[in-house]
Amino acid sequence: MKKFISFLLTLTIIIGQGSIIFAEKNDKGKVDIESKSAVLMDASTGKVLYEKNCHEKLPPASVTKVMTLLLICEALESGKIKENDDVQISETASSMGGSQVFLEPGEIQKVDTLVKSIAVASANDACVAMAEYVGGSVEEFVDLMNNRAKELNMKDTHFANTNGLPVDNHYTSAYDIALMSKELLRHKKISKYLTTWMDEVVVGKKKAKIGISNTNKLVKHYAGATGVKTGFTQEAKYCLSASALRNNTHLIAVTLCAETSPIRFKDATTLLNYGFANYESVKVCSANEKITTVKFEKGSKENVDLVSKDDLTVLIKKGDSKDFTKKVQVRKDLSLPIKANSDLGVVKVYKGKELVGETRIVNTEDIDKASYGEMLRRVVDKLL
């Protein structure tokens, strides 16, 4: 009996810490969510599988950093910045309160270290340092954040800073957070940071080692977790964007304004469990898979293969038919020359009459204009 009581006490303590999270449904079998706002989205297609007040404008706290990380990833991929670049820490960056890695003014840090500090430790000081480095100033970087939000069709969002510290006119919605989380997860390099549970960074002029641990507990406690970001302020309460991947199905669960930290993790787990239990992703085509061939009569190469730019997966309810129809649309306004990896059209996937997925199609090599000699040879070949 004593052993049984001890077991119950231990289990109660673990649950209180949020380490074990149970998915819950109400008596009608519907998803039961306590957070004020929530959404479950398919990371591949953007399809919404569940929502609760998902367009309500709310403060996101540190979940703001999803957009900060997205802009950094895009700057890295474009070659504007590199992981081993040196970044000098400003007085402004080092003065940030809240979550931080205690950067000192004047010290030099690598981009790689600062990105790790943001993704794992939710470091406000590292956010400002990277905003200044990428945007030139915090103000210009915030403008970039808002411009990118518009491009992603985030209609419920306005950013006023890079890190989510309390400030007027800084808000977003669960739906918009899912949109920017979906875009961030497309960048494979960020995965190693978003899924790191514990690490260390060397900071300060004295090169002190400090341990950092991921604020997203699902990274350790939920199978297949791939990210993304937590947040907390007194105004925003407990916020979370959580993602997980199982058998090609990649889901994003966002919960905002939960009363406690365990509630946000429980709600996110409930949503993810619901998604994985009821839906599955079917891969229709892989990245770089040949989709069609286009004829360029005046091109250096007459017949050019176009391939899928990304993996194309379709989310369906488990047990549904897996019969799909692919329709390829090639742009009509193409003119030579065309650089490699240009968007030349789209492949759309239908289930019956419903559009269930699409991706861009691109060329894998440059397409130049054919020389006069090449054009003459083709005319002769046709005559013969």
Positions marked catalytic: 62, 65, 122
The amino acid at 19:
S
Structure-token pair, residue 292? 């069609």
Amino acid at 283: K
Structure tokens at 317: 């309810």
Q: With CA atoms as reference, report the closest residue to 72 among 87, 88, 60, 58.
A: 87
Q: Which two tokens stand for residue 312?
A: 């194309």
DSSP letters along 330-384, please? E-S---S-B-TT-EEEEEEEEETTEEEEEEEEEESS-BPBPPHHHHHHHHHHHH-
Partners of residue 16 on adjacent β-strands = none
User: For 110-223, where are the alpha helices, taking DSSP H only?
Assistant: 111-121, 124-135, 138-151, 174-185, 191-194, 218-221
| Per-residue exposure over 87-124, b if at least 16 CB sit within 10 Å of its own CB, e if not | bebbeebbebebbbbebbeebebbbebbbbbbbbbbbb
Radius of gyration of the chain (CA): 24
Q: Which residue has the tokens 């990371």?
A: 43
